[in-house]
Every structure is written in structure tokens, then in C-alpha cells.
Structure 1
Amino acid sequence: MSSHADLTDLRARVTDVLPGLRSDLEDLVRIESVSADPARAGEVRRSAEAVRALLAAEGMDTEVVSIDGGAPAVIGHKAGPAGAPTVLLYAHHDVQPENDHADWDSPPFEPTERDSPSGRRLFARGAADDKAGIVAHLGALRVFGDDLPVSVTVFVEGEEEVGSETLPALLAAHQERLRADVIVIADSGNWDVGVPALTTSLRGLVRADVEVRTLTHAVHSGMWGGLVPDALMTLSRLVATLHDDEGDVAIAGLHAGPAADVDYPEERLRAESGAAPGTHWIGSGSAVERLWTKPALSITGLDAPKVEGSSNTLVPAARARISLRIAPGDTAENAVARLREHLDQHVAWGAELSVTIVDTGEATRIDATGPAYDAARAAFAEAWDGTRPIDMGVGGSIPFIAEFLESFPRASVLVTGVEDPDTRAHGANEGLHLAEFERVVLAETLLLARLAEAGAPTD
């Protein structure tokens, strides 16, 4: 910012708009916009209309759009001064299923404020992921009113939680409306409460269902055991080959790379992961390498007879779902090919093997250098009272970021967010840290001001 007085003024303006933003967020959270639930498609539509109305109230030209049968998204635009850069602000209004209400300490779609170990939080599905992202964008618009320092386009997607299937078509259909010098994607998080971050890498994803069959039908385990392999034993043997003795992924040909030199203390790892006290970590390398820049593989589902009620028969077929996270620098195409090769080579006893790819998502690595990133780091440091942001990797996947990088290769893409390590996005008791949310709104406000000072790119 050009002066301390300017920073003080913007802080005061953010404080002034916070109560209204809190009310708007609570209203959005009460809309059950679960995109994975066909029965709530009407709620997803209602959510899009509510977002459109909020943006229109800030003087934006708005439209609800969809394509190829996809969920409704919202596009809004408000012009700034002539010659100023254009900033695209992204968030999504759909949310994850709330699952069992009994796991929640308060109703999942009724926003409830209460204490947490790190401070006051607002608990509800979507309170953080990602309706707070929408409202953070709204806050920056509201602070500036009709004196926007840059031109702003807001794009709020409606199917991020189900894989953004129609996003590439939406980006292509509305490319000119969405074109920007800087893209701010508010769907990630910060390193810790009180420590901001820019997300600069994310792992990709390959999910596959692997089935082995050893029999055409079940047979008596006493009469045929010892000669005929059962499918569950065969699948277990195959799954065991996917890691080496240290716990590293044993699939040849997958990429791995170094990570930032960031300390992740043991006590914090234990607390945030929920690991049982006696659990040993798997893999080699630093903690952040294992979490951010090396492949990881988990078994997330298993189709086999339940223990209770099982009979003395050899199981003819068994199936597992594999979730393979691929490192930045790798591709989903390579990972699929290497996974298939490994499974083909290691399936035992001539069992029939079937591999079905469920879905894939590309890894992302962002070159976070240049004027836009300088502006973001300065804005974050101001909003967090001198604490500079770290460049953070994320072990999870946000495949749509690769779509933005591909669609707008000249734009600087900043991946930010409202979450912290105890947000519990996707889980029960998802909660937004209220003091951190205020800092996020201030940081985005300062960012727009700093991008105006930097000016539009000239090349």
C-alpha cells in the first residue's frame, strides 16, 4: 500500500462490512447445495441464484450459466478504471454431502458459532469450503464499492465437488468474458492459523477399481482350499505389492520431486492427521515431500464378504478401489499406464485381472514469480501483521486449476483460500475460523489495491 493511512482505512472498511458478510455467509450455508445429490439439484440452482443476487447487489453485471447439462455457475463483471488490470475471482457454491448428522455437534446446514482450540469458528457444511471463498470475494467488492481499483470478474462454479466435469466447456464457451490478467482461486487454505500461504503445487489423482477373479463360482473351502486360490487372498497379495517395506509407492516410473524446506513438527502432524499414538509414518524423505511432492497410494474401498455371516467358501472375486495421488511434474496418463503395468506384472496365480479407471485429475505446479505474486505476498504480510506467506504444497487434488492454467496461459494464477489445518472440510463439524476469515477478506482487498498499483501487463 502507498501509506500506513491507506492500510488503516482499508482495515476499518473491512471491519465495517464484516457483519453483513457474516449474515450473507449464513444465508448461503443454509442452502443445501450438495451437487452429488440429484434430489437436491433444486438447492444447487437456488444457491446459484442467491450468489447471483449478492453479486448484482454490488453493481456487477451477472448471469447464471450452465453447459452440457452441468450444474449452474455464476459469472459477474464490474469494470474498474480504464487501463487497469482485470482480476478473475473464482470460488464454488456447491458443497460436499453432510453424511451422518449424528456425527455433527450442531445441525450441518444451520451455521453455529462456538469455540475451538484455536479460536471462535462458524460450523456448518460449506461454511469454509467454499462459500466463505465466495463471501471473501464479495467482501473485497463491498469494501471498494463503486471505486474498484481494478476490473473484476467473479466466476462461481456449481460442480467443483463432483469433479468439475463441464468446467472445460464453460471456460471455452465464456473465454472472452473470463479472460483476466490475474486469477485468484479461493479454494485452498493457509499453513496454520496466523500463518498465510500461497498454494504453489497440488498432487494429481488416479482412482481405479481393481478386481481379481480366481473362480467362476464359490466352492467349499475345505474341499478345495490348498489347491485353488481364493480371490480375497489373491487381491490382498496384489495390493501388498503396491508399497515397498518402507511404505513408499512401489510402482515404477512415477515422478517424485523435492519440496519446500518447511518444518512440519511431529506433534502437529499427530494432531492434524488424527494418527493413533502408536502409528508409524510410512515412506521416506521429509514429511512435506511425502505429503506434497511424492506419489501416495491408498485403498479407499473393498468389496468382499463381511466377516459376520461369512461361510466356509472360497471367494470367487474381490475388488478394491485404489486412490493414487501423483506428484507435480507427473501426468495422469503416465500414472494410469504405470499402474496398469504394475498390476499386470504382479497379479498372482494366473488370476483374471480387471482394472477400471474411475476418474483422473492432473497435478499442478505453479511458477509463483512475478508482479502478481509479489503483490499477493505483500498483501498477505500486511493482513497477517507482518507474517509473510509461505509457498505451500497440497497433497490433495484440485484438478480444475490445471484447466485454468491451460485456458489462460498468460494469466498469473494465485491459489489462496480460507481454510486452516483444523477446518475439517468434507468432514463432520466443518468450521470457518472467524478471525482468519477477516484476515482473508483484508488480504484480498489489499491485493486488489496492490495489483492496481502494479498496473496491467504490457507484454
Structure 2
Amino acid sequence: MRDIARTVEGLADGLRSDLVELARIPSIAFPGHPEAPVLRARDQVAELLRAAGMESVGALEMPGSYPVVTGSLPAPEGAPTVLLYAHYDVQPPGDQSHWDSPPFEPTEFDAGPLGPAIRARGIADDKANILVHIGALRVFGGRPPVGVKVVIEGQEEYGGPFDTYPPSDPDLFGSDAMVIADMGNVRPGVPTFTVALRGDAEVVVEVRTLDGPRHSGEFGGAAPDALIALLHALSTLHDADGNVAVPGLLSEEWDGTTLDEAEFRRMAGVRPDAPLIGTGSLGRRLWTGPAITVMGLDAPAVDTAAAAVVPYARAKINLRVHPRQDAAEAQRALVRHLEGLRPFGVPLSVHAGDSGSGFAAQTGGPAYRAAADAMREAWGAEPVHMASGGAIPLVAGLAKAVPGAEILLFGAQDSESNLHAPNERVLVDELKRAVVAEAVFFQEYARRYREREDA
């Protein structure tokens, strides 16, 4: 295993150079952004895979989505097959004035005690993890001790039909274990498995009370105000402490590693005079309990508001769901709650939007044990478990397509990588250690798999 660490050190400069070149490409797969850079990133990923020894590199095309880059290497005799996932598209950079350097000009800088780092949009989420897979293949000269299937998505951030595609084509994803490299460590230097993902669902609620705005002096006090009715409805979604108060939503205590309050406040940018909402552990509030956020509100703007009773108001609600609760079931519970309300006797119109279930990993199999050994080797520390409040609907689809495969979520990111935010960065040391971990995992999993087969 020490040979693998030395090999990765020798590969590090090339991996870093390839990552920088990939991160230069503004592969934003959102409407209104140019198509050419996304396809250029696809081509670069395909070329990296070919050069690393992958065979049958191709693309899965489907309407309404950018291509999914695929590839495969047959398993050596008696060895398992591992599916490797990442994505080559990135979030838009947002307000570029908040960046310390241009978001698509990868910039190396000194992160103090954390060592060298590289800043760019998408460099942690998720292009560094593409290079983790490439690096692990390079360690073995393109001939790893396991069979490999590669799936590199092109429209993960915006979402699309690939989220629900795997059950319709299970052979494409057939494998004994999967490494979903769209995650990272709870803290730099702390090897971390993400073992649960919350699901999510959207609901839109609207209120219509009048044919149009009416003078608040002449009609206010008796004419039903749609905005006030909506606000009363929204206020029922939480109790006085900020806990979600909708019946039928699963919640339980989290017993793995979690953030402490000071870390969370710093990462979330919570103002000093603002309390955190909800009760119980942070793990429960963030990962194994439901969360409800009002994402948007249609109502008159303050600066242009007239002195009138509001006739119409609408809100878009995001619901985050316990990893083991079906997201559609949770969405129905929220819809029932809202439809049962009549603030001041006013009916609400409630519409269910998209939903995607979460995921809870099984952690006792040979792939998990092999990966735990690999992470100990790579980081020199005991791996910990955490969860994520962010949904990855594809993971639920993969679990349904290949129910016997062990699914492992880890990677080169860490909780302070500024994903989806200005100054996104990846630590060079975390990248190298993640490559070591994946390569050692290949070796250790192949050994354990053969021992199990021989038993």
C-alpha cells in the first residue's frame, strides 16, 4: 500500500495540471448558458479516460440532457466490478465580484496550515473527483485489479432525465460496488463516508382572494388579503422553536459525526445576533430530520407597493426528507397539511412539484470494509460517518437499478470547499489522499472479494 502512496506522489503534478485544464472550461449545463463549453468538457473527460486505459469510452445521449460519458474495463478473473461516478458540469459562478480570482481561471494559493489549494468554479464539485478516478486508474497503468465501469454525468447540477434513468437500463450500471465521488470529508484530514442523503420535494401554494388590488383604506379590514392569508399558512409549517410541524414527516436522532455549532455558524454565515432554529442535535436538524424552506414568494415589491389589499400571492416551498422516507410520500404529507388549512376561511391552491428520494447506505459489506481500510491508509486516521442534507436523486436510482451493489460516497471535497459559493476551492493534499484511497480500495476490495469467493 505504501507503493501506491509513492506512485500517487509521482503522478500528482500531472493530475493537478489536468485538473486545472478541466476547471478552465465553464461547463455550465443550465438554460441560457452556451452549449459548446459543456461539450468541450465532455470531450476532455473522454480523452482523459482513454489515456488512463479505459476501453469502450462512449456517451449516453438522452433528450433534454447533456451526454453522460461512459466507459468500461473488464474484470480480471475472479475480481469484482466497481462503478465510478462523478459529473463534469458545474454551477454558475454567481456574482463574480465576490471571487478573489476569476472563477474560470484556476488559481493556486496557500491555504495556510491546510497547504496548497486551487480555486475555481467546479474544481471541488465535481472536477477534482473526476481526477480521483483518473488518478486511481493511472496508479495501475490502466489495468486495475477490479473491473471498472465509469459514468461521468454532464447535467447533474441542473438535473434532468438521467436522475431516474438507471432502473430502465440496469445492465449499464451492473456492478458489485459503486464509488459516488460527489462528496468529501467533514473536515480536512478526516476521512469521511457519507452514509445518508436526504431526499427533497417541491410544493407551490397560492392564494387568490380578489379580482384585483383594492384600496386598503376603503376595503382593508373586511376584504381578504391574499398575502396575509398565505403568511398565516406558512407560519404553521414550524413550531415556536423552528422545528418542522407537519404531521407525517419522519425524524430521528443522528448518531454519526456532525459539525459543531461554531463550525456550522461560520460555514452558513449566520449573523452573530441570529440564533439557529430548531431543537435537537445539528445532525438531526440537518440530516435525519425534515427541513422546510420558503424558496420564493410572489408578492408586491416593497419599493413599488401600492396602498392596496393584495389579491394574489404565491410561495414555492422546498422540503428536505429523511433518507429512508419516500420523498413522494413526504410531499403528499405536506400537501395534505396545506390543503387542510383555511386561514380566515380562505382556501389554498396547492401544487406538488418534483420530488426525489434520499438514500441510506448499508455499511457492513466487503466493499465498505475495504474502503474503510483504504481511507485509514490514505489519511492515517479512523474514518467517520456523516450524512448530507443535499439530495443526489441519481443515487436512489442506482440503488434501485442494482440493489445488490454496495454504494460508497466519498471524495476529494471537504465541508469548507465553498461548493456552489464564491471562491470554491480544493486542497491539493485532499486530492492526493483521495486518489490513494480509491486505488488502495481497488486492491483491497479485489483481495476481500476473492477470499469471500474461495470461502
Please confirm whether the aligned pair reaches a TM-score higher than 0.5, indicating the same fold. yes
User: Which region of structure 1 is more displaced relative to structure 2, 299-308 or 374-383?
Assistant: 299-308
* Backbone CA RMSD of aligned residues: 1.7
Residue of structure 2 equivalent to 1:66: 61
Residue of structure 2 equivalent to 1:405: 399
Deviations 1:317-354 (A, max 9, x none): 11111111011221112112111111122231233422
Identity across matched positions, percent: 42
> Are 1:172 and 2:171 matched, yes or no?
no
Given the alignment, which residue of 299, 308, 320 partners 2:303?
Answer: 308
Q: 1:37 to 1:31 in 2, by over 3 A?
A: farther
Residue of structure 2 equivalent to 1:337: 332
Q: CA deviation at 1:264?
A: 3.2
Deviations 1:342-378 (A, max 9, x none): 1122231233422233321102111111111110111
Distance 2:326 2:27 in 1: 32
Distance 1:183 1:327 in 2: 22
For residues 107-122 of structure 1, the aligned pairs below 5 Å read: 107-116=102-111, 118-122=114-118
Residue of structure 2 equivalent to 1:49: 43
> Are 1:145 and 2:135 matched, yes or no?
no
Given the alignment, which residue of 141, 151, 154 partners 2:150?
Answer: 154
Deviations 1:103-136 (A, max 9, x none): 2111111111123364432111110001111110
Given the alignment, which residue of 357, 361, 365 partners 1:362?
Answer: 357
Distance 1:38 1:91 in 2: 23
Secondary structure at the residue paired with 2:34?
Answer: helix
> Are 1:254 and 2:249 matched, yes or no?
yes
TM-score by length of 1: 0.94
Residue of structure 1 equivalent to 2:185: 190
> Are 1:94 and 2:70 matched, yes or no?
no
Letter in 1 for 2:50: A
Q: CA deviation at 1:261?
A: 4.4
User: Which region of structure 1 is more displaced relative to structure 2, 448-457 or 402-411?
Assistant: 448-457
Residue of structure 1 equivalent to 2:15: 21
Residue of structure 2 equivalent to 1:438: 432
Secondary structure at the residue paired with 2:130?
Answer: helix
Deviations 1:74-109 (A, max 9, x none): 111123422211111100111111122122111111
Residue of structure 2 equivalent to 1:81: 76
Residue of structure 1 equivalent to 2:125: 129
Deviations 1:132-167 (A, max 9, x none): 111100000011104421111111011111224234
Q: CA deviation at 1:303?
A: 1.3
Distance 1:419 1:146 in 2: 24
TM-score by length of 2: 0.95
> Are 1:280 and 2:282 matched, yes or no?
no
Q: 1:350 to 1:393 in 2, by over 3 A?
A: same
Letter in 2 for 1:139: G
> Are 1:298 and 2:293 matched, yes or no?
yes
Q: Alignment length, in residue pairs?
A: 451
Distance 2:348 2:106 in 1: 48
Secondary structure at the residue paired with 1:417?
Answer: coil
Q: CA deviation at 1:171?
A: 5.9
Contact 1:37–1:97 (CA<8 Å) still a contact in 2? no
Q: 1:319 to 1:362 in 2, by over 3 A?
A: same
Q: CA deviation at 1:398?
A: 1.1
Q: CA deviation at 1:249?
A: 0.5
Residue of structure 1 equivalent to 2:342: 347
Given the alignment, which residue of 415, 425, 440 partners 1:421?
Answer: 415
Distance 1:349 1:263 in 2: 42
Secondary structure at the residue paired with 2:183?
Answer: strand
Gaps of 5+ in 2: none
Letter in 2 for 1:195: V
Contact 2:88–2:130 (CA<8 Å) still a contact in 1? yes
Q: CA deviation at 1:18?
A: 1.0
Letter in 2 for 1:165: P
Distance 2:133 2:258 in 1: 31
Distance 1:125 1:44 in 2: 14
Deviations 1:372-429 (A, max 9, x none): 11101110011011x1111111112111110110001111111112221111111111
Distance 1:229 1:69 in 2: 42
Letter in 2 for 1:351: V
Contact 2:374–2:440 (CA<8 Å) still a contact in 1? yes
Gaps of 5+ in 1: 1-6
